[in-house]
Amino acid sequence: MSSISLKQHHNNMLSSQKMDQTKTTHNQDLNFKATELRLGLPGSESPERTTMKNMVAGAKRGFLEVDFVKNGEFFGEKKNHDSSKQPSDQDSVAASKAQVVGWPPIRSFRKNSMAAKHTKNEDDPKEETGSNCVYVKVSMDGAPYLRKVDLKMYSSYSDLSSALEKMFSSFTLGQYGANGVPARKWSSESPLMGLLNGSEYVLTYEDKDGDLMLVGDVPWDMFTGSCKRMRIMKSSDAIGLGKS
Amino acid sequence: MDPNKKRVDSLFPDEVLERVLSLITTHKDRSSISLVSKSWYNAERWSRRHVFIGNCYSVSPQIVAKRFPNIRSVTIKGKPRFSDFNLVPDDWGADVFPWLSVFATVYPFLEELRLKRMVVSDESLEFLATKFVGFRNLSLMSCDGFSTDGLKAVATHCKNLTELDIQENGIEDLGGHWLSCFPESLTSLEILNFASLNSEVSFDALEKLVSRCKSLRVLKVNRNISLDQLQKLLLHAPQLMELGTGTFMQELVSGPLTELKNAFSNCKNLLTLSGLWDATPLYLPVIYPACARLTFLNLSYATLRSVELANLLAHCKSLRRLWLLDTVGDKGLEAVGSCCPLLEELRVFPADPFDEEMNLGVTEVGFISVSRGCPKLHYTLYFCRQMTNSAVVAVAQNCPDFTHFRLCIMTPGQPDYITKEPMDEGFGAIVKTCTKIQRLAVSGLLTDRTFEYIGKYAKNLETLSVAFAGSSDLGMEYVLGCPKLRKLEIRDCPFGNAALLSGLMKYESMRSLWMSACNVTMNGCRVLAKQRPMLNVEVIKDEESDDSQAHKVYVYRTVAGPRRDAPPFVLTL
């Protein structure tokens, strides 16, 4: 068999092989193929036929076709299709970063475990029991034991505060107002005022940097990303944290 | 036993033959036996207790039931292996239920079921738990389709359960309540593995279960079990032979570590240790007392650095199998080479397979160090970002006994990073020097020459995995010449119809062929299917691919005919 020089092989790598059913591919025909200037992987379809799909985590049908080879690196590129199955922009861009489906060959369980590791800091008390749970401890001054809540279960401060109210109401003397906390956007004023109005307590949290903060100062999403644990503090201890 | 089976001309009475044959356990031997003569065939089929089905579509449950009347244990494998890497769509098939419904009639005394890559629904698990009174051993690996509710059914109804082994499945985790469903009367458990389940179980229920199952020898808990809890479990079960710990780190050191260390020291039978999630230098030393006896240490979920590993391995003289994360680096592998002379198996997994910036991992240097210190190495799975031919050649020479050589250079098509040559000579050396090679996974830049070497030298090769390699059809043609080839899986290679059809006479002697993202067309597949009616030639259609292309092809021998349960996107030609 004819030996293939590295350069020829490199050309082969860079050329897409046309799907021609009538021609049989013999080794001797390689030169013909090699002179075609196309982009694509050996074995990949020519560009006009390749598609790009959404590589949604956990969705086995979505996958990303690799279109280009460049200096031995692989990366996909987003293409526009009129198909109604158009993947969402965000996911496509995320998926196109040098990822070929099923490569390297690592099972899902291991991939997910590694992913969970990286979103976790070494020293923080926050735990992730699954890929989508953010459990933080909630303590209340004077209460005999702590509770744990999954921040991902709530979509806003008002959700969280009603849940906490239910959890900790047994530890207070009914000083929480019966009225529900009005839904409002985050503001510099604590949105838990309704809950804690007139009570002796203030809801605080410890953030990524270890600082004690007043709950409600930052947008909800930022809060869930930076909150490590919460503490329902006595107002008398919380002087200086915010408006009370 | 049926008197019609007695043959006057047989040398042995059938009862004697059956008694003798019952001592033969491997299915390869039993297959050979069944071919000797009709009476031997019958004696074999009556005495067989365990049946292994490597491809669930190669045979039907009815055919199995007809041939083997007395089965107590079944192993079934379903989806093609590349389904582990998301290359097979959901709903492809491999449902276990059709098997269970036949077994319920024919093998009501079924005791053991071991499934790999099968679809198992909660209904199937409930069916299994309720229809098979003496059921004892359940092992599910890489299966999907069930939730923890299915496990509840098993825990509740299987009164004599000895094994529940749930590994790496696509399971819907609805919570840890299933474990609390084991009744107080259940004391028979010997193997319990729920390491890959995410939800927290009731520790109280677990502790009680462990303390009343005196024969428990394998316990692998999940990450939620803390060190304190582990200590309690070890106190109840010092007889354990295999242990998978939970998290190996906690915020507050609640008690002196000496107690935990003693707990490990008391486990005199411990041979296997795994789990060790989040293990840090602070806590790792508690296992040292148990290390001298360990034969298998799975550190593939512990992000250890080289120094921590070296300190640990200094205690592990008896190690035969070691799984690591590449965070240990080449220096860590150097420690492996110097501390573990009895090592037979090494697997190194990448901590950051998709992000090169994070950590270089291991290289050819570490590979060579291990091979120098561990001449008995015969199994390796090695993920790396750079490799050289000379390193692979050296490894082959240092460890000529390789039976399983799986090298994954993570960037597709990457050459020898020093010489820029293809990795042909490296893999060539492996097949030339390691004559016992049974399983091979190749990677990096490879021309047809690699396959020429494989075809020429790998006389014992049974399984071959190829990705992003080869230059022409010849590559695949070469490897189809391997006399013992049974499983061939190929992705993203320039092999077309000529290559596919060159195996026309070969595929019936193989279990299966998988080809995806190659150059095979529908016409090529049709030709194959027409010429070989004993094969199922299946094409998995892609939504947006060209109709004439056969994007994913799965070819396998079968006595069951074409699939009757194929979803619309699987075309049997």
For B122-160, write each residue's pLDDT tens digit: 999 999 999 999 999 999 999 999 999 999 999 999 999
pLDDT score at A171: 58
B91 and B185 inside one domain: yes
Q: At what angle do helices B389-398 and B364-373 cross, to 10 degrees?
A: 10
DSSP helix/strand/coil, B293: coil
pLDDT higher than threshold 80 for residue A107? yes
| Interchain proximity A9–B84, CB inside 8 Å | no
Chain A CB within 8 Å of residue B250 CB: no
Report which of residues B358 and A146 the model is more confident about.
A146
Cα dihedral sign, B561-B566-B568-B569: negative
Across A131-157, average pLDDT: 78
Kindly state the percentage of chain A with pLDDT values over 90.
2
B87 and B174 inside one domain: yes
- B348: CB partners within 8 A, 6+ apart: B323, B324, B325, B326, B328, B333, B362, B366, B381, B382, B383, B384
pLDDT score at A5: 46
Which residues of chain A lie closer than 8 angstroms to B465, CB-CB?
A: 105
pLDDT higher than threshold 70 for residue B220? yes
B25 and B165 inside one domain: no
Min mean pLDDT across A96-110, A223-237, B64-78, B501-515 is at A96-110
Kindly state the percentage of chain B with pLDDT values over 70.
96
The residue extents of the domains of chain A are 135-171+190-237
pLDDT in tens, B533-571: 999 999 998 776 678 889 999 999 999 999 999 999 998
B20 and B164 inside one domain: no
* Diameter over CA atoms, chain B: 77
B430 in a structural domain:
no
Across B64-85, average pLDDT: 96
The CATH number linked to B18 is 1.20.1280.50
Which of A19, A48, A41 has the alpha carbon at shortest distance from B467? Answer: A41
DSSP helix/strand/coil, B323: strand
Report which of residues B299 and A101 the model is more confident about.
B299
Going by DSSP bridges, is the β-strand pair A201-207/A147-150 parallel, antiparallel, or unpaired?
unpaired
pLDDT band at residue A25 using 50, 70 and 90 as cut-offs:
very low
pLDDT higher than threshold 90 for residue A86? no
Q: Apex CA B448: angle with CA B438 and CA B381, to 5°?
A: 35
pLDDT in tens, B317-340: 999 999 999 999 999 999 999 999
Quote the CA–CA distance of B442 and B461 in Å, as a whole number. Answer: 13
Chain A closest-CA separation from residue B37 CA (Å):
44
B89 and B18 inside one domain: no
Dihedrals phi, psi of A232, to nearest 5 degrees: -90, 105
Please tell me the class of the A135-171+190-237 domain.
alpha beta
pLDDT higher than threshold 60 for residue A228? yes
Q: For residue B544, what are its two tokens? A: 């947006």
Quote the CA–CA distance of A55 and A64 in Å, as a whole number. Answer: 6
How much is the mean pLDDT over chain B? 93
pLDDT score at A42: 53
Quote the CA–CA distance of B15 and B47 in Å, as a whole number. Answer: 10
Quote the CA–CA distance of B156 and B151 in Å, as a whole number. Answer: 8
B73 and B171 inside one domain: yes
Class of residue A58 by CB neighbours under 10 A (exposed 0-12, middle 13-18, buried 19+)? exposed
pLDDT score at B254: 57
A4, A25, A97: best to mutate for the B interface, most B CBs within 10 A: A25
The pTM assigned to this predicted structure is: 0.74
Q: For residue A6, what are its two tokens? A: 């590295």
H helices present in A15-67, as ranges = 30-34
Which of B193, B210, B200, B78 has the alpha carbon at shortest distance from B145? Answer: B78
Most confident of B47-51, B224-228, B374-378: B374-378
pLDDT in tens, A155-170: 788 888 888 877 776 6
B481 in a structural domain:
no
Q: Which domain holds residue B38?
A: 12-48
Across A69-83, average pLDDT: 35
Around Cβ B60, how many Cβ atoms within 10 Å? 18
B53 and B131 inside one domain: yes
Report which of residues A1 and B250 the model is more confident about.
B250
pLDDT band at residue B232 using 50, 70 and 90 as cut-offs:
very high
Across B499-507, average pLDDT: 96
pLDDT in tens, B423-451: 999 999 999 999 999 999 999 999 999 99
pLDDT score at B72: 97
B201 and B95 inside one domain: yes
B59 and B141 inside one domain: yes
Nearest chain A alpha carbon to B86 = A60
Min mean pLDDT across A148-152, B171-175, B498-502 is at A148-152
pLDDT score at B359: 75
Which of A140, A163, A162, A139 has the alpha carbon at shortest distance from A150? Answer: A163
DSSP B317: T
Min mean pLDDT across B137-141, B167-171, B210-214 is at B167-171
B206 in a structural domain:
yes
B434 in a structural domain:
no
A residues 9-68 near B, CB within 8 Å?
9, 12-13, 17, 19, 21, 24-27, 30, 41-45, 49, 51, 53, 60-61, 63
* Diameter over CA atoms, chain A: 90
Min mean pLDDT across A102-111, A135-144, B95-104 is at A135-144
pLDDT higher than threshold 60 for residue A30? no
pLDDT band at residue A212 using 50, 70 and 90 as cut-offs:
confident
Domain count, chain B: 2
Q: For residue B116, what are its two tokens? A: 């790999």
Q: For residue A16, what are its two tokens? A: 């897409």
Chain A CB within 8 Å of residue B175 CB: no
B178 in a structural domain:
yes
pLDDT score at B409: 96
B82 in a structural domain:
yes
H helices present in B381-447, as ranges = 389-398, 424-433
pLDDT band at residue A148 using 50, 70 and 90 as cut-offs:
confident
B22 and B66 inside one domain: no
Kindly state the percentage of chain B with pLDDT values over 90.
82
Quote the CA–CA distance of A15 and B520 in Å, as a whole number. Answer: 17
B119 and B33 inside one domain: no
Q: For residue B444, what are its two tokens? A: 């990096």
Report which of residues B489 and A132 the model is more confident about.
B489
B29 and B92 inside one domain: no
The CATH number linked to B211 is 3.80.10.10
Across A60-64, average pLDDT: 34
pLDDT score at A64: 34
pLDDT higher than threshold 90 for residue A58? no
pLDDT higher than threshold 70 for residue B50? yes
pLDDT higher than threshold 70 for residue B5? no
Nearest chain A alpha carbon to B251 = A125
pLDDT score at A198: 55
Which residues of chain B lie closer than 8 angstroms to A137, CB-CB?
A: none
pLDDT band at residue B212 using 50, 70 and 90 as cut-offs:
very high
pLDDT score at B4: 55
Quote the CA–CA distance of B249 and B278 in Å, as a whole number. Answer: 6
| Interchain proximity A6–B421, CB inside 8 Å | yes
